[in-house]
Amino acid sequence: MNFLEAVCNNPLLQMALIACVGASFASGVIGSFVVVKRIVSLSGSISHSVLGGLGCALFFRRVYHLDWLMPIYGALFASVLSALIIGYVHLYHREREDSVIAMIWSVGMAGGVIFASQTPGFNLELMNFLLGNVLWVSSADLVLLAALDMVILAVVLLKYKHFLVLCFDEEQAKLQGLNVARLYFLLLGLIAIGVVILIHTVGIILVLCMLVLPPSIAEKFTYRLSRMIILSIILNILFSLGGLALSYKLDWPAGATISLFAAAVYVLSLRFKRPMSVSIPSPVKAEIETASD
Amino acid sequence: MIDVKDLSFAFEGNPVLKKVSFRVEKGEFIALFGPNGGGKTTLCKLLVGLLKPDSGTINLPKGIAFVPQNFAPDQLFPISVMEVVLMGRLSKAPRFGGFRKLDREMALAALKEVGLERSKDSCFSSLSGGQKQRVLVARALASEPDVLILDEAMANMDGSSIMSLLKMLKNRLFTILMVTHDLKAALEYCDRLLCVQGSVTPMSSYEVCQHFENGLYHRVGA
């Protein structure tokens, strides 16, 4: 049975495809801001801190029988909390930012490991979140993914021009009367949500790959952030679906295959240069023409 | 009108400006000059609110535009010239969604004033240093400021660009404070000159010429 036939017949694969497309929207949008703002390590810290939240939620769910406490709630709480701490340090104690990023990164992982060791039974769920298993997505997860996707898309559509100036020139944002601190926290909050969406498809360890590689490839083909976002979403969908098909054919883990596929295309894209030097009119030439008119 | 009283600022304990007081009338074109490390950039940043003074008061109108000295954005940042200029319209544009037609027209008009309207769709990073500075001046003009502060904004521009820009600014009705080392141009285009060296001292044309002759600003005369 080939991949397309399997998709038609297998509801698990159908849900996995929907999850991949949903995650592609989030990572394409958020990843583009991560890449242009140069906050990749910050995003890595947020994504790894999620393990602590997941472990904590699983621990309380199993030990205290809190069945309503889904691991994803713990992940969301941990990522938003990390984003708030990092945002505070970035804005008010920037000289210590690197150290705090490293601290949150390791504390999150350490917390996850300790909670996992104290949780009875084999933590398959935690392993799925860590390494990614898109085939394990439930319909409730899809509803949550769709809602989080909507939040990200709506906020970015409404505040795009503000995020653009925040990423390009923070001083100008202040001069224009924008509340830079609030805007920065909002951006980090969106990254936190995006990370939670992505851990379903590729897992904590590979989140950075999907967040960073597609926008980094897209950046080579356009010099407009809005187009870079659209291209990143398309690339994310291609990598997710292509990786999923490959993983089905090769019987490899889906998350790892998706990431390797994206990384291979990224390496190939390094040969390309931005179009600005070939496809746009030279401003100098334009000025000379204006002068001669 | 700009009214600065007893303004003091220290950077990590080292005083940069001490008890600075001066007044600029509406519509004046002021040149700020002085030696490196004299506090010109600090004064500009205090005026626009990017730094907080240790003591003293600053009274100035709300609409301030600022063109910084060394703006070095990420070379790979994906942004067009027009998008950079539109940033000057943020305080006047709707809070949510995109820019209005009026904002785009104002941005384009500002680009025309600096002679770069044909580069509106170019990538900002592809421009030369002088062209980038002209785009930043256009961004400041697009914001329809009451006060324009230029911190060595013309340092990377060629002579003819500087002259045409100064001519254009001279005819504007808003107040302009321009940090410059080009005293020749300052004497020609500015209404007054203020020397910034820990404090702010008004200087007459004669005093400036004395400085000039003493070789303090020989670079300009060369």
Give the separation between CA B220 and CA B209, rounded to whole angstroms. 12
Counted across chains A and B, CB pairs separated by less than 8 A come out at 104
- Tell how strand B14-24 and strand B55-59 pair up: unpaired
User: Given the structure tokens 């958020």, which residue do they identify?
Assistant: A30
Contact across the interface for A276 and B123, Cβ inside 8 Å:
yes
Residues in chain A whose beta carbon is closer than 8 A to a beta carbon of chain B?
36, 38, 157-162, 164-165, 167-169, 171-178, 219, 222-225, 227-228, 274, 276-277, 280-281, 283-284, 286-287, 289-290
Nearest-by-CA chain B residue for A283 = B119
- By CB atoms closer than 10 A (0-12, 13-18, 19+), residue A143 is exposed
Test A283 with B71 for CB contact under 8 angstroms. Answer: no
Q: What is the structure's pLDDT at B80?
A: 95
- Of B81, B90, B119, which is closest to A176 when you measure between CB atoms? B90
Q: Which residue in the block uniquely carries the two structure tokens 């300009």?
A: B220
Give yes or no for a contact between A65 and A95, defined as CB atoms under 8 angstroms apart.
no
User: Any idea of the CA torsion for B116, B119, B125, B126, to the nearest 10 degrees?
Assistant: -110
pLDDT of residue B221: 37
Identity at B177, one-letter amino acid code: L
Minimal Cα distance from A228: which residue of B?
Answer: B78
According to the model, what pLDDT value does residue A274 have?
Answer: 74
- CB–CB of B91 and A162 under 8 A? no
Are the beta carbons of B96 and A159 separated by less than 8 Å?
yes
Shortest Cα distance from B214 to chain A (angstroms)?
A: 38
Nearest chain B CA: its distance from A31 CA (Å)? 14
Residue of chain A whose Cα is closest to the Cα of B88:
A176
Please state which of the four CATH numbers 3.40.50.150, 1.10.260.40, 1.10.3470.10, 3.40.190.10 is assigned to the domain occupying A3-292: 1.10.3470.10
List chain B pLDDT tens, one digit each, 222 residues.
899 999 999 988 889 999 999 999 999 999 998 888 889 999 999 999 999 999 999 998 888 999 998 888 888 899 999 999 999 999 999 989 899 999 999 999 999 999 999 999 999 999 998 999 999 999 999 999 999 999 998 888 888 888 888 999 988 889 999 999 888 888 888 999 999 988 888 877 667 666 666 655 544 433
Cβ–Cβ of A165/B119 closer than 8 Å?
no
Residue of chain B minimizing CA distance to A227: B78
CB contact (8 A) between residue B118 and residue A177: no
Burial class, B7, CB count within 10 angstroms (exposed 0-12 / middle 13-18 / buried 19+): buried
Contacts of B116 in chain A (CB under 8 A): 283, 287
Q: How far is B192 from chain A (nearest CA, A)?
A: 26
Other beta carbons less than 10 A from residue A224's beta carbon: 16
Q: Do B99 and A161 touch (CB under 8 A)?
A: yes
Neighbours of B25 (CB within 10 A): 12
Q: How far apart are CA B64 and CA A73, in angstroms?
A: 45
Give the amino acid at A32. S
Report strand pairing: B29-33 vs B192-196: parallel
Tell me, what's the pLDDT at B13?
Answer: 85
CB < 8 Å to B119, chain A? 281, 283, 286-287
User: Chain A: nearest CA to B145, how far in angstroms?
Assistant: 11
CB contact under 8 A, A286 and B118: yes
Residue B181 and residue A95: Cα distance in Å, rounded? 33
Q: What domains lie within chain B, and their CATH numbers?
A: 1-63+145-222 (3.40.50.300), 78-144 (no CATH)
Q: Nearest C-alpha of chain B: how many angstroms from A281? A: 7
pLDDT per residue rounded down to tens, chain A (293 residues): 688 888 888 888 899 899 999 999 999 999 999 999 999 999 999 999 999 999 999 999 999 999 899 888 999 999 999 999 999 998 888 878 889 999 999 999 999 999 999 988 767 778 888 887 788 788 888 898 899 899 999 999 999 999 999 999 999 999 999 999 999 999 999 999 999 888 877 788 788 888 999 999 999 999 999 999 999 999 999 999 999 899 999 999 888 899 999 999 999 999 887 765 434 444 444 454 454 44
Among the partner residues A38, A174, A228, nearest to B50 by beta-carbon distance: A174
CA distance A2 to chain B (A): 40
Query: Is the CB of B66 inside 8 Å of chain A's CB atoms?
Result: yes
Which amino acid, one-letter code, is at A228? M
CA distance B46 to A119: 56
